[in-house]
């Protein structure tokens, strides 16, 4: 009897990734396809949805070839995707415009207009769980209607990246709650599209996909696509989820006392919650999880490993064995040196695009490895800033992921700063692995969190050091005060260089 397996896809910003996973959670093979960002103007970011589809086809062909050669039957496909990015298609499902991405900044006026028409930011947060931000989908739709009215008029459906891929696989329009909750069109409490925002955008609800559960079924793969890619026509397509939610599921973060801390280019702290109550000041996001009935809070810092990369570029030094060894020898507190990791502004908790990076306390006695230590600590303080602003968070264990987690020294510093146990788990494929869990959940009938518990194991653990934690608690207060002392200066400098 052939082994039953599932495919997890991830439509990222830099690549399409795919993994073939068996019923025990083992990754049998993987494939990827690079993507190219399009930037027509400063602050604009686009990609061609058809290029995503081309990449998915390349990846699926590779996985299906492996499956045939090894007598494996693929039962289901599920996709994780970048949040917020807009795809507008005509009646035949063909894209009318490049996708405007999550990191695009062109929609400031439109976001302000939506916020004002809703009755102000507090009302917007009450409905959607978040401020109406430039990254989110609502402002992009309004911008399209104002700047390309002919495209807006021809648009039959507005959707998100992974939902476009699901449509291409099945010819069925659908989305699910985790991605819908990042559009700024979704009512986080009612778990449905919001009519008031639809009216502001001059949209009919029929122009947005039906919202399904993340582990439900969109449909079967079309015969034409099955033939082209060498796949079985009986393969089911599962909705999947937003990248952060799938990444959290992919490391087993589904319970309310467990959190995910991701140390990538940016840094995130994600904590599941049974409530939909937003942070009234909009410092942390609240979105729907891919686990039914669960939401999550998420704090975001913009420059995590990006801060390290910046200093590496300046020093032209990238020997991480030496960096980590020397940083480990520097005492906690970096001998009075502090780094504010606001190289590109900051989101949580300051929501300040004018904030900038700062090395404070620098003297001629400091060496470069003490600066590295300050950078490691500054990023850890930024992650703590995310965590402490999450309402009612009572986390016992953090599951750490991302490129920065490869450094045991940095992981220890983060544990010492936050004062919580950090663990690494067996799964290392992020959103694609979470998507595979959702696919297998649909096939097996088991809940996604149950599958995650069966598939994922802890491989390493880091406990906080009590003495260093006490030092970092004192220094964290200084770190926080530095931003408030410099906020006015950040604004003045920004005005001077407009």
Q: State the DSSP code for 120.
A: S
The answer to whether 299 touches 386, Cβ cutoff 8 Å, is yes
Any idea which residues carry the catalytic annotation? 243
d(CA 391, CA 67): 45
84 is in an annotated binding site: yes
In our burial notation (b when 16+ CB lie closer than 10 A, e otherwise), range 30-46 reads bbbbebeeeeeeeeebb
385 exposed, middle or buried (CB, 10 Å; 0-12, 13-18, 19+)?
A: buried
List 211's β-bridge partners, or say none. Answer: 175
Scanning the structure block, which residue is given the tokens 């149950």? 450
156 is in an annotated binding site: no
The DSSP string of 225-267 is: HHHHHT--TT-EEEEEEEHHHHHHHHTT--STTEEEEEESSSE
Q: Which tokens in the block code for residue 123?
A: 């009302």
d(CA 69, CA 425): 30
d(CA 315, CA 309): 10
Instruction: Classify strands 157-159 and 87-89 as parallel, antiparallel or unpaired.
Output: antiparallel
Query: Which residues make Cβ contacts (< 8 Å) with residue 117, sequence separation at least 6?
Result: 200
Give the residue ranges of the annotated binding site: 83-84
Give the residue ranges of the annotated binding site for substrate: 83-84
């Amino acid at each position: 009897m052939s082994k039953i397996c599932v495919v997890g896809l991830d439509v990222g910003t830099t690549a399409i990734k795919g993994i073939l996973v068996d019923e025990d959670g083992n990754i049998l093979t993987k494939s990827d396809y690079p993507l190219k960002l399009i930037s027509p103007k400063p602050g604009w970011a686009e990609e061609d949805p058809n290029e995503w589809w081309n990449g998915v086809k390349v990846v699926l062909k590779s996985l299906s070839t492996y499956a045939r050669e090894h007598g494996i039957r693929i039962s289901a496909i599920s996709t994780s995707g970048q949040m917020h990015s807009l795809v507008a298609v005509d009646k035949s499902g063909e894209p009318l415009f490049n996708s405007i991405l999550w990191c695009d900044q062109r929609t400031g006026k439109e976001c302000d207009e939506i916020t004002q028409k809703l009755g102000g930011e507090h009302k917007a947060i009450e409905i959607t769980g978040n401020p109406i931000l430039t990254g989110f989908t609502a402002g992009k739709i309004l911008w399209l209607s104002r700047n390309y009215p002919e495209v807006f008029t021809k648009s039959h459906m507005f959707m998100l990246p992974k939902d476009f891929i699901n449509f291409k696989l099945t010819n069925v329009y659908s989305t699910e709650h985790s991605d819908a909750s990042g559009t700024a069109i979704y009512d986080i409490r009612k778990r449905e599209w919001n009519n008031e925002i639809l009216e502001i955008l001059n949209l009919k609800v029929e122009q947005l996909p039906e919202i399904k559960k993340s582990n439900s079924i969109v449909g079967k793969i079309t015969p034409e696509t099955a033939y082209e890619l060498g796949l079985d026509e009986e393969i089911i397509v599962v909705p999947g989820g937003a990248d952060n939610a799938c990444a959290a599921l992919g490391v087993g973060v589904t319970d309310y006392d467990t959190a995910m801390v991701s140390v990538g280019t940016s840094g995130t702290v994600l904590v599941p919650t049974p409530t939909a109550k937003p942070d009234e000041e909009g410092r942390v996001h609240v979105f729907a999880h891919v686990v039914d009935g669960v939401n999550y809070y998420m704090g975001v810092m913009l420059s995590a490993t990006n801060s390290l990369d910046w200093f590496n570029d300046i020093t032209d030094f990238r020997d991480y064995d030496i960096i980590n060894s020397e940083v480990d020898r520097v005492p906690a507190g970096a001998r009075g040196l502090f780094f504010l990791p606001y190289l590109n502004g900051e989101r949580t908790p300051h929501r300040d695009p004018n904030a900038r990076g700062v090395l404070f306390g620098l003297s001629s006695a400091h060496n470069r490895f003490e600066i590295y230590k300050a950078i490691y600590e500054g990023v850890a303080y930024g992650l703590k800033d995310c965590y402490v602003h999450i309402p009612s968070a009572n986390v016992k264990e953090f599951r750490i992921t991302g490129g920065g987690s490869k450094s045991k020294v940095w992981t220890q510093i983060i544990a010492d700063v936050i004062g919580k146990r950090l663990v690494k788990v067996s799964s290392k494929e992020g959103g694609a692995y979470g998507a595979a869990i959702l696919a297998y959940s649909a096939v097996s009938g088991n809940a996604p969190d149950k599958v995650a518990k069966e598939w994922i194991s802890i491989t390493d653990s880091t406990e906080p050091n009590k003495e260093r934690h006490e030092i970092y608690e004192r220094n964290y207060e200084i770190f926080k005060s530095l931003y408030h002392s410099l906020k006015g200066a950040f604004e003045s400098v920004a005005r001077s260089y407009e």
